[in-house]
Chains A and B, each alone.
Chain A
Amino acid sequence: MIRVLGIGSPFGDDAAGWRVIEHLRGRVPEGVELLALDRPGAALLRWFEGMDGVVLIDAIRSGGRPGAVRSLSLDALDGLPESPSTHGFGLAHALRLAGAMGVLPPRLAIHAIELGGLERDGLTPEVEAAARALAESLARDLGGDGIKFETLQP
């Protein structure tokens, strides 16, 4: 069983992960579940339970070009401060917590879409195009060649 989790919020480009899930609806084979999550914080971990593989899609702000899509390894998310408040408990912290508890899924893929702005309703055109392109590529991989996962546990 594979779960594709789009993480986001209703604020501007932060909804990019949700948009990828919308584009994927009706286009994935059996055994693949699609979920849009609103800022789950530590509760992200419950969606890892019983999965063979998890695909995470989230918006990222790393100073890159809006709409740039990057596949991240777990290591790339290191270097964040410990003990954030609940408001700062994001994807990286949830994954670190899962690692400490030994509940990471056996196979994981993280796709990050560089966001443009958070102020407007809806996505900026570059991010909209990127969400569509990422959904196309995931639909292809899920339907045929298989997702390119990082293997975390044998």
Chain B
Amino acid sequence: MTERTVSIHVPALTRVEGEGALRLRIEDGRIEALALDIFEPPRYFEKFLEGRQHAEVLDIVARVCGICPVAYQMSAAQALEDAFRLDPGPWVRDMRRVFYCGEWLQSHALHIHLLALPDFLGFDSVVAMAAEHPEAVRRGLRLQGLGNDLIRLFGGRSVHPVGACVGGFHDAPTLDEVRTMLARLRAEWPESEALIGWVASLPMPDDEQVFTSVALRHPADYPLAEGRIVSDAGLDIEIADYERHFAEEHRPQSTALFALLDGQPYLTGPLARLNLNLDRLPEATRALLEATGIRFPSRNMFHSLLARAVEIHVALVEAIRLLEAYVRPASPHVAVRPCAGIGFGATEAPRGILWHRYAVDGHGIIRAARLVPPTSQNQARIEADLHRSLLAFGLDQPDEALRLRAETVIRNYDPCISCATHFLDLTVQRQ
């Protein structure tokens, strides 16, 4: 048998956050090797944090990601407050939730409209799609802008915000600023209602898969900035026990670590959250989801897109509810008294659970840090999905079609891949 090796160099894994690589080797009509390479900046940040004052941590971890800095700050704040046995109180807890809603709004709006949508409407770029569907792109940009402004309201700026601190916020918005924001949030309500129906009507590949969903779960609310870690396989643990159940392993082809739950891949992110928290949806959101006729929990990975649309609505509903009760506090933060200890934080970043652990000494200096981002948790699941999806699609398909299907599958997870290289190669080897 002669070997035919085909190498395609494309600016690959386009329309994702950052860059990554996929290698695929097909022999005798079988997938012999399939590897998704992701370069992970949190690994370096863990070292940067050692020896730093606790008060510096939120500004440092915000730099891990330009799309989900709020998630990094909120997981870190929770973990450090856990280490210092500090309760920031109900005002801070509520306003952190609002702050976080801004991040969900902007990240989900960006992903649905600018990153994923061309796959479902049959365009190879957002620019081509924009010519035919300018209204959809306009809605995406408007929702993204609103989310950014909501982050700015508490964070001072939307990229790498500076407003949050251990114990609360450096400053609190004025009543006027909150009133203006409320009017804008209310104005987008009908739009976000329509978005759920519209996304549900998009043609989706019908492909049921077996996977374990893992998400946070809160006693009353749809999970965002706090909760226990649960799965649909019966897991229900304190976030401090994460490391006893979830292990990370190195794979030779990748700088990233693969997180596994009891040795198996699992899913974190919008679809897993929705699957596990249907009874925590606000009433208005639940009615909209039921009206789509699509049943959840869902095992169709492509329903992640609908889950994001649902969570945009959740973010609006929650931000409005909490800001309607807004009062300007005497102080937007509580005093911090560092003490030695280990603290844990876990929040729901737009892409899934973001878990932090810090060891702090008696002077409030960070002695060790561990950050587990959602994309590394999903990496094994993405590979399993690719394996299955490409077999179902047909390995005899042309390279270009295989590439597009693989990218569509990967993009559906909204992976946050930071840039190691500017171009990612998809290499297909056929034998």
Contacts and interface: CB of A to CB of B under 8 A. Distances in A.
Interface string A53-94: 000000000000000000000000000011111111000010
B124 A38 contact: no
A129 interface: no
B15 interface: yes
Interface in B365-417: 417
Given A39-B159, A42-B114, A43-B144, A83 B124 contact: yes
Contacts of B115: 86
Interface residues of B, number: 34
Nearest to A98: B130
B110 interface: yes
Contacts of A103: 134, 138
A152 interface: no
A1 interface: no
A101 B18 contact: no
Contacts, number: 75
A87 B118 CA distance: 18
A87 B15 CA distance: 9
Given A38-B159, A85-B14, A85-B17, A43 B145 contact: yes
A82 B127 contact: yes
Contacts of A100: 127-128, 130-131, 134
Contact of B19 (A39, A87, A101): A87
27 contacts: A38-B157, A38-B159, A39-B66, A42-B110, A46-B141, A46-B142, A82-B14, A82-B125, A82-B127, A83-B11, A83-B14, A83-B118, A83-B125, A85-B13, A85-B14, A85-B17, A85-B419, A86-B16, A87-B18, A97-B130, A100-B134, A101-B130, A101-B134, A101-B137, A101-B138, A102-B134, A103-B134
Interface of A: 38-39, 42-43, 45-46, 81-88, 93, 96-97, 100-103
